[in-house]
Amino acid sequence: MIRNRTRSPGDTKSLAASLAELVQPGDLLLLVGHLGAGKTTFAQGFAAGLGINEPVTSPTFTLAREYRGRLLLHHLDVFRLDQISEVLDLGLPELLDSDGVTLIEWGDAIRQALPNDYLEVALTFVDGPDSSPDDRGVVLCPVGPGWQARTQALTTAAARWLEGPTC
State residue 147's pLDDT score: 96
Looking at residue 110, its pLDDT comes to 80
Instruction: Tell me the pTM.
Output: 0.89
Per-residue model confidence (pLDDT) at position 137: 95
> What is the model's pLDDT at position 128?
83
pLDDT at 48: 97
- Do the beta carbons of residue 22 and residue 119 sit within 8 Å? no
Q: How confident is the model at residue 58 (pLDDT cuts 50, 70, 90)?
A: confident
4-20 average pLDDT score? 97
DSSP track, the chain: -EEEEESSHHHHHHHHHHHHTT--TT-EEEEE-STTSSHHHHHHHHHHHTT--S-----TTTSEEEEESSSEEEEEE-TT-SSTTHHHHTTHHHHHTSSSEEEEETGGGGGGGS-S-EEEEEEEE--STT--TT-EEEEEEEESHHHHTTHHHHHHHTGGGB-S---
- Stretch among 6-20, 48-62, 147-161 having the lowest mean pLDDT: 48-62
Whole-angstrom distance, CA of residue 141 vs CA of residue 111? 14
Q: For residues 26 and 111, give the distance between their C-alpha atoms in angstroms, rounded to a whole number.
A: 16
Per-residue pLDDT at 65:
83
Fold classified for 2-161: Rossmann fold (3.40.50)
pLDDT digits 0-9 by tens, 61-107: 557 788 999 999 999 888 766 555 555 566 666 667 678 999 999 88
pLDDT reported for residue 159: 94
**Closest-CA residue to 47 (of 24, 9, 21):** 21
Output 112 or 160, whichever has higher pLDDT.
160
**Cα(121)–Cα(96) distance, integer angstroms:** 18
Whole-number Å distance between alpha carbons of 53 and 2: 28
Let me know: does 154 contact 138? Beta carbons within 8 Å.
no
More confident position, 109 or 5: 5
Decide if 106 contacts 77 (C-beta within 8 A): yes
What ranges do the domains of the chain cover? 2-161
pLDDT digits (tens, 9 = 90+) for 102-151: 999 988 888 888 889 999 999 999 988 888 899 999 999 999 999 999 99
